[in-house]
């Protein structure tokens, strides 16, 4: 019995020891496994944090790119290239000079940036043959709480219909002789207040500018600023297929007689003013445009302008009296007008007839200087629109000049009608 009891005690003790050993072994394995898993979790956490940092950096770069892309989306790029061939009448050609030529009339690219609603910046250089110039550089800002009112500042077109009408859209290749004479270069440096009505179909423009006779790119040469004003009313009659724009415009400015007191008046007499006085530069005009939905559409457009222009003398104040009298300031009464007839022929073709007249000195005739004779110019043009981007134009321009002793043809004969007609073909690519 005793032996059996001892044997049972020994067996139970062994079982208890085995259980302890097993328990210890399990705990050891779990401890090792848990330590290993902890290391793996820490490593995984660190890896995730590293990747998260990289993702955050990537998000920042994406946000920067999206911001840059948003800015780029606010920039509009447009422009056009006009390649031209011209054939000249014989009185436009000097001895041994070419009778025809190819050249780039205009090559412009326009950048328009709108950083916010109601704010716009415009920059337009020109790269035409033999010329690199800045055409437009201005900002437009909508006036808060005044719907339709804007302020312009910089260099831009003067407020006149044919001046503002883009060279890429105009029905003839060039502006009228009148407009080219009184608005040289088309642009000016200044500020403009403009109203474009929505409920009331009117346009009002008031511009203050340097008014330099020497061109738009120079700083002002005197303290006085020139003023332009224009008012246009647009009447639409949809039931009759008719639209009419009519308006008035005025220019108020002056050129200073800085070095020379003598003035050559429009009638040819020599007068004098005080050095430092301003010479008159003032004119008024009326304009009308009629658009009719007739057989594909037609338009009649015209403008008349008359007034007084002046040119300051550039001779030195220290010149002799004879030299001052020989190179005086000039004041001239002028007048001029232009008329367009435009007829669409289907969607691809357009016929244009234009007549313009310009007399730089209405007080004298017959014996006026060559620079002061009047011109009547009749122009016929044909436009072919290949697509929205390509336009092909053919034009024949026929000037008629005032005859006087200073007008001579290539043969040296005076008092003649010059053979100075010009035939032109232009291909315009627009984007």
Note the pLDDT tens digit of each residue in 354-370. 999 999 999 887 666 77
Give the residue among 108, 109, 103, 110 at the shortest CA–CA distance from 83.
Answer: 103
Please check whether residues 184 and 272 belong to one and the same domain.
yes
Phi, psi of 7, deg, nearest 5? -60, -40
pLDDT higher than 50, residue 32: no
**Radius of gyration in angstroms for the set of CA atoms belonging to the chain, rounded to a whole number:** 40
Note the pLDDT tens digit of each residue in 276-306. 999 999 999 999 999 999 888 999 999 999 9
C-alpha–C-alpha distance, residues 184 and 308, integer Å = 16
Please check whether residues 183 and 267 belong to one and the same domain.
yes
pLDDT band at 24 (very low <50, low <70, confident <90, very high): very low
Please check whether residues 59 and 98 belong to one and the same domain.
no
Give the residue among 191, 115, 110, 128 at the shortest CA–CA distance from 155.
Answer: 191
Please check whether residues 100 and 150 belong to one and the same domain.
yes
Please check whether residues 33 and 122 belong to one and the same domain.
no
> Given this model, what pLDDT does residue 59 score?
62
Note the pLDDT tens digit of each residue in 380-423. 999 999 999 999 999 999 999 998 888 888 888 888 889 999 99
C-alpha–C-alpha distance, residues 219 and 136, integer Å = 16
* Alpha-carbon 423 to chain mean position: 27
Asked if 204 contacts 364 with a C-beta cutoff of 8 angstroms, the reply is no
Which domain range does residue 356 map to?
A: 74-430
Please check whether residues 142 and 42 belong to one and the same domain.
no
Those residues whose C-beta lies under 8 Å from the C-beta of residue 375, and which sit 6 or more positions away, are 177, 357, 358, 399, 400, 401, 402
Span 182-210, average pLDDT = 94
Give the residue among 353, 361, 360, 393 at the shortest CA–CA distance from 377.
Answer: 353
CA atoms within 13 A on the CB side of 178: 25
pLDDT higher than 90, residue 339: yes
Asked if 236 contacts 268 with a C-beta cutoff of 8 angstroms, the reply is no
Span 222-231, average pLDDT = 94
C-alpha–C-alpha distance, residues 294 and 291, integer Å = 9
Span 187-215, average pLDDT = 89
Choose the final residue of a domain: 36, 53, 73: 73
Choose the final residue of a domain: 38, 53, 73: 73
Please check whether residues 387 and 254 belong to one and the same domain.
yes
C-alpha–C-alpha distance, residues 209 and 193, integer Å = 12
CATH code of the domain in which 320 resides:
2.40.160.10
> Given this model, what pLDDT does residue 28 score?
47
Choose the final residue of a domain: 44, 73, 102: 73
Total number of domains in the chain: 2
Please check whether residues 130 and 272 belong to one and the same domain.
yes
Please check whether residues 59 and 95 belong to one and the same domain.
no
Please check whether residues 269 and 194 belong to one and the same domain.
yes
């Amino acid at each position: 019995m005793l032996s059996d009891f001892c044997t049972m005690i020994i067996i139970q003790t062994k079982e208890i020891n085995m259980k302890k050993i097993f328990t210890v072994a399990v705990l050891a394995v779990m401890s090792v496994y848990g330590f290993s898993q902890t290391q793996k979790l820490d490593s995984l956490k660190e890896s995730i944090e590293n990747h998260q940092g990289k993702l955050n950096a990537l998000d920042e770069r994406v946000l920067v790119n999206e911001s840059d892309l948003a800015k780029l989306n606010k920039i509009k790029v447009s422009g056009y290239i006009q390649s031209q061939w011209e054939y000249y009448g014989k009185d436009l050609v000097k001895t041994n000079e070419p009778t025809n030529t190819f050249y780039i009339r205009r090559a412009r690219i326009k950048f328009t940036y709108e950083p916010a609603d109601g704010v716009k910046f415009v920059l337009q250089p020109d790269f035409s043959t033999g010329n690199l110039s800045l055409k437009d550089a201005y900002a437009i800002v909508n006036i808060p709480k005044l719907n339709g009112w804007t302020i312009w500042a910089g260099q831009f077109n003067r407020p006149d219909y044919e001046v503002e009408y883009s060279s890429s859209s105009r029905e003839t290749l060039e502006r009228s002789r009148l407009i080219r004479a009184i608005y040289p270069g088309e642009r000016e440096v200044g500020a403009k207040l403009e109203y474009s009505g929505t409920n009331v179909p009117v346009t009002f423009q008031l511009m203050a500018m340097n008014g330099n006779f020497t061109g738009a790119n120079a700083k002002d040469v005197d303290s006085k600023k020139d003023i332009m004003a224009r008012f246009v009313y647009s009447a639409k009659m949809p039931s009759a297929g008719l639209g009419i724009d009519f308006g008035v415009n005025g220019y108020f400015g002056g050129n200073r007689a800085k070095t020379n007191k003598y003035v050559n008046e429009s009638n040819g007499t020599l007068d004098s003013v005080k050095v430092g006085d301003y010479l008159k530069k003032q004119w008024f005009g009326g304009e009308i445009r009629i658009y009719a939905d007739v057989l594909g559409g037609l338009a009649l457009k015209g403008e008349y302008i008359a007034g007084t222009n002046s040119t300051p003398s550039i001779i030195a104040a220290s010149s002799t009296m004879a030299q001052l009298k020989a190179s005086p300031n000039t004041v001239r009464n002028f007048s001029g007008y232009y008329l367009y007839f435009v007829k669409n022929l289907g969607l691809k073709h357009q016929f244009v007839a234009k007549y313009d007249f310009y007399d730089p000195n209405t007080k004298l005739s017959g014996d006026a200087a060559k620079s002061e004779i009047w011109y009547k110019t009749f122009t016929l043009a044909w436009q072919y629109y290949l697509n929205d981007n390509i336009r092909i134009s053919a034009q024949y321009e026929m000037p008629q000049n005032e005859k006087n002793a200073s007008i001579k043809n290539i043969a040296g004969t005076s008092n003649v009608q010059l053979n100075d007609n010009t035939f032109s073909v232009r291909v315009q690519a627009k984007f």
